[in-house]
């Protein structure tokens, strides 16, 4: 149980740190947020729980393919915000686009032999 609490605390600290840095240095906060900290931490915790090379390889490869459809969200949100759309509207639109692109990636991936 303490391990679960430690994982949650560490994740929360990372998010709060990004938000606090972003108040003064938005570009630095963006850099920190763009680092694959969550992915690396997830891989470390997964390896600790199940040290299986094939499982880890499949996880890392799927992570790569799932990152790609999330990237357009980070272009859509600033465009919408600069055109007067509210933050929440832009965020919902960005998330909806990401979900659609995830579904497309999963569908196309299966056709090309990707194990997602």
Given a contact cutoff of 8 angstroms between Cβ atoms, the answer to whether 39 and 70 are in contact is no
Q: How far is CA 38 from the centre of its chain?
A: 8
* Lowest model confidence (mean pLDDT) among 6-15, 19-28, 50-59: 6-15
> What is the pLDDT confidence band of residue 42, given thresholds at 50, 70 and 90?
confident
**How far is the C-alpha of 65 from the C-alpha of 40, rounded, in Å?**
15
Residue 84: is its pLDDT beyond 80? Answer: yes
Given a contact cutoff of 8 angstroms between Cβ atoms, the answer to whether 110 and 116 are in contact is yes
- Write down the pLDDT at residue 10: 83
Average pLDDT over the chain, rounded to whole? Answer: 91
pTM of the model: 0.77
Average pLDDT over residues 29-46: 87
């Amino acid at each position: 149980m303490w391990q679960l609490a430690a994982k949650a605390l560490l994740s929360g600290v990372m998010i709060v740190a990004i938000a606090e840095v972003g108040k003064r240095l938005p570009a630095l906060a963006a850099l920190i947020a763009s680092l694959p900290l969550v992915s690396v931490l997830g891989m470390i915790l997964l390896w600790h729980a199940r040290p299986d090379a094939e499982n880890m390889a499949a996880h890392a490869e799927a992570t790569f393919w799932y990152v790609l459809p999330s990237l357009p969200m980070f272009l859509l949100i600033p465009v919408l915000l600069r055109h007067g759309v509210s933050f929440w509207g832009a965020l919902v639109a960005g998330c909806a686009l990401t979900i659609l692109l995830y579904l497309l990636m999963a569908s196309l991936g299966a056709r090309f032999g990707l194990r997602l």
